[in-house]
Amino acid sequence: MSTVIDGSASVTINSGAILGITSGTAVASTSGTSIDFTSIPSWVKRITVMFNGVSTSGTSSIQVQIGAGSVLTSGYNAGVGLINNSSFTTTSNISSGFATIPTGVNTAAYIHYGQMILSSMGSNTWAVSGNFIYPAALNIMMVAGAVALSGTLDRVRLTTVNGTDTFDAGSINILYEG
């Protein structure tokens, strides 16, 4: 056991190591139907997926999928809701991933800013929460849910629910931590 002192507080560490936050490499989301972050270490307990001006060529919702060895495409218990500038709300249940916007609301003009946080609940089960904004219409989207994997998470994929719309603007990156 060791103690680390930063000048204002001390932290006791039992394992002898501090696992900090690791940044992936930002990816331009300007082409292709999916963006993959792979080789995520087995010790990761939290992943933040960050969106900066991300949009697609079509109307299908953007979604985050995770996997262990391959990407899981079903079995998600997730929902997404939208509040717009006139207080109208729209919601969708999505089973193919963690969507950023309700079904039927997205347009090719939608631009996403925000983040989605995936947290390990143990036993290869992951919970999610996230918030996004489309500033042009003052729309705010919220996502929550969970999914169980068959093994240790090692990948994160961004795609659309229909799997065919292409990314055409912005950038995406992840942070992960133990």
Structure tokens at 47: 């992943």
3-state secondary structure 36-84: EEECCCCCCCEEEEEEEEEEECCCCCEEEEEECCCECCCCCEEEEEEEC
pLDDT at 112: 94
pTM over 0.75: yes
Domains in the chain, please, with CATH? 18-177 (2.60.120)
- Tokens 């000048």 found at: 7
Structure tokens at 62: 């953007």
Phi, psi of 135 (to 5 degrees): -60, -30
**Residues forming beta bridges with residue 47, ordered by sequence position:** 118, 176
Structure tokens at 58: 């079509």
Phi, psi of 137 (to 5 degrees): -115, 5
Going residue by residue through the chain, which has 178 residues, state the pLDDT in tens, using 9 for 90 and above.
Answer: 444 444 444 444 444 445 689 999 999 999 999 999 999 999 999 999 999 999 999 999 999 999 999 999 999 999 999 998 777 678 888 999 999 988 888 888 889 999 999 999 999 999 999 999 998 888 899 999 999 999 999 999 999 999 999 999 999 999 999 9
pLDDT at 88: 65
SS3 state of residue 20: coil
pLDDT at 6: 46
Contact 98, 50 (CB under 8 A): no
Structure tokens at 164: 């065919």
pLDDT at 19: 62
Instruction: Choose among 118, 116, 117: nearest CA to 101.
Output: 116
Structure tokens at 117: 């946080």
